[in-house]
């Protein structure tokens, strides 16, 4: 088990290093560089820009800038925002709860509904339900997330008036019910695509388990289909889904970026777009690394959980 953990940890560290190098180089190669926003100020002279470059260390070679940034990152100094001078970690922390709330609720919805659809589709193979689930999954995967969001706003906010069109809460009303009311539509929109993905994978995994010899043996012993399904099939079919849950996190983060923009949700996705538009590079790099660490950590946890449950993976 120790060798397995060390192997996964070393792979995660290498991946984070690659992400940091690529992200840092790409951001610095963008026309205008980190000082692009300052260059738009008509009162800013070339001498002022040169002084800023010297103060921020941007006049040094790129590799020296990266090493300095990476060393400070390891020490916990993620830099300061160009907009208000606030520490990057504080800026991210102000938006982290909103993103985790949206991602957590949409993930729970996707797993619950997707698992049920996948299992029912596998146990009722080629039925009307199975065909409808397949068509629904293809539609959900083919249509962009922002289109579902705009459609939801038009139908449930503008036409029916059932749900708010955006924001995280109503100003002056900080009750839990008000937060939940605002959370319903963006979490469902974000979950739609992942319900489709989860249901397809769950259907395939369930069919694979149903065809195994131990399931045929259980039927031969006279066990009911419900008992076979609950005791032997579902648990084994969910095993690869744990890994899938970790692998789906990047797409959830990407979907959250679009969903937060459509519903003006004050999360990290909206912060990323705002910071990118302002050329606030310290915040952009901070969000990139924070998201990468989150993805790597969740995949690492998923691998560990699977290895604990299934010794075959750990021993291999």
CA-based torsion, 279, 280, 283, 285: positive or negative: positive
pTM metric for this prediction: 0.81
Those residues with Cβ within 8 angstroms of residue 56's Cβ, 6 or more apart along the chain or in another chain = 34, 35
Which among 184, 168, 219 is positioned nearest to 106, based on CA atoms?
A: 184
Q: Are the C-beta atoms of residues 258 and 149 closer than 8 Å to each other?
A: yes
Per-residue pLDDT band for 310 (boundaries 50, 70, 90) equals: low
Check pLDDT > 80 for residue 61: yes
Q: Are the C-beta atoms of residues 130 and 124 closer than 8 Å to each other?
A: yes
pLDDT in tens, 182-213: 999 999 998 988 899 889 999 999 999 888 88
Per-residue pLDDT band for 5 (boundaries 50, 70, 90) equals: confident
Q: Are the C-beta atoms of residues 210 and 119 closer than 8 Å to each other?
A: no
Alpha helix locations (H) across the chain?
2-29, 46-56, 62-74, 88-123, 128-142, 145-152, 176-210, 213-220, 225-228, 234-247, 249-262, 268-277, 281-309, 311-315
Of how many residues is the chain composed? 316
Check pLDDT > 80 for residue 261: yes
Question: What local confidence, expressed as pLDDT, does residue 178 receive?
Answer: 86
Q: Are the C-beta atoms of residues 243 and 306 closer than 8 Å to each other?
A: yes
Listed by start position, the domains of the chain span 93-268
The separation between CA 95 and the C-alpha centre of its own chain, rounded to angstroms, equals 14
Per-residue pLDDT band for 103 (boundaries 50, 70, 90) equals: confident
Task: Determine phi and psi for 87, rounding to 5 degrees.
Answer: -60, 140
DSSP-based three-state secondary structure for 158: helix
Task: Determine phi and psi for 144, rounding to 5 degrees.
Answer: -65, 150
Pick the residue with more confidence: 215 or 17?
Answer: 17
pLDDT in tens, 118-149: 999 998 888 999 999 999 999 988 888 889 99
Fold of 93-268: MetI-like fold (1.10.3720)
Those residues with Cβ within 8 angstroms of residue 64's Cβ, 6 or more apart along the chain or in another chain = 57
Question: What local confidence, expressed as pLDDT, does residue 311 receive?
Answer: 62
Calculate what percentage of the chain has a pLDDT beyond 90: 18
Which among 116, 132, 261, 294 is positioned nearest to 189, based on CA atoms?
A: 261
**Cα gap 52→59, rounded to integer Å:** 9
**Cα gap 110→245, rounded to integer Å:** 10
pLDDT in tens, 24-44: 888 888 776 677 666 666 777
Average pLDDT over residues 152-171: 88
Q: CA-CA-CA-CA torsion for 303, 305, 306, 309, nearest 10 degrees?
A: 160
Check pLDDT > 60 for residue 314: no
Which among 184, 199, 208 is positioned nearest to 111, based on CA atoms?
A: 199
Which among 201, 292, 190, 192 is positioned nearest to 239, based on CA atoms?
A: 201
């Amino acid at each position: 088990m120790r060798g397995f953990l060390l192997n996964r940890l070393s792979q995660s560290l290498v991946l984070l290093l690659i992400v940091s190098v690529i992200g840092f180089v790409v951001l610095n190669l963008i026309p205008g560089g980190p000082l692009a926003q300052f260059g738009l100020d008509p009162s800013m002279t070339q001498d002022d820009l040169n002084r800023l470059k010297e103060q921020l260390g941007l006049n040094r070679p790129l590799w020296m800038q990266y090493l300095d940034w990476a060393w400070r990152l390891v020490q916990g100094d993620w830099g300061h925002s160009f907009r208000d001078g606030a520490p990057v970690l504080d800026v991210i922390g102000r938006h982290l709860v909103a993103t985790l709330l949206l991602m957590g609720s949409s993930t729970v919805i996707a797993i619950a509904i997707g698992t049920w659809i996948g299992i029912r589709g596998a146990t009722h193979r080629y039925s009307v339900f199975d065909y409808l689930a397949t068509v629904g999954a293809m539609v959900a995967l083919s249509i962009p997330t922002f289109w579902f969001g705009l459609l939801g706003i038009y139908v449930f906010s503008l036409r029916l008036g059932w749900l708010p069109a955006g924001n995280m809460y109503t100003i002056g009303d900080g009750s839990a019910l008000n937060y939940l009311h605002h959370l319903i539509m963006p979490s469902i929109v974000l979950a739609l695509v992942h319900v489709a993905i989860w249901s397809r994978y769950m259907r395939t995994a369930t069919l694979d388990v149903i065809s195994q010899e131990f399931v045929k043996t259980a039927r031969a012993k006279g066990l009911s289909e419900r008992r076979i399904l609950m005791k032997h099939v579902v648990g084994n079919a969910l095993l690869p889904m744990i890994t899938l849950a970790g692998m789906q996190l990047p797409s959830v983060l990407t979907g959250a970026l679009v969903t937060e923009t459509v519903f003006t949700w004050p999360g990290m996705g909206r912060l990323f777009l705002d910071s990118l538009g302002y050329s606030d590079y310290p915040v952009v790099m901070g969000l990139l690394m924070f998201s990468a660490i989150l993805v790597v950590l969740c995949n690492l946890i998923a691998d560990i959980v699977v290895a604990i449950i299934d010794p075959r993976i750990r021993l291999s």
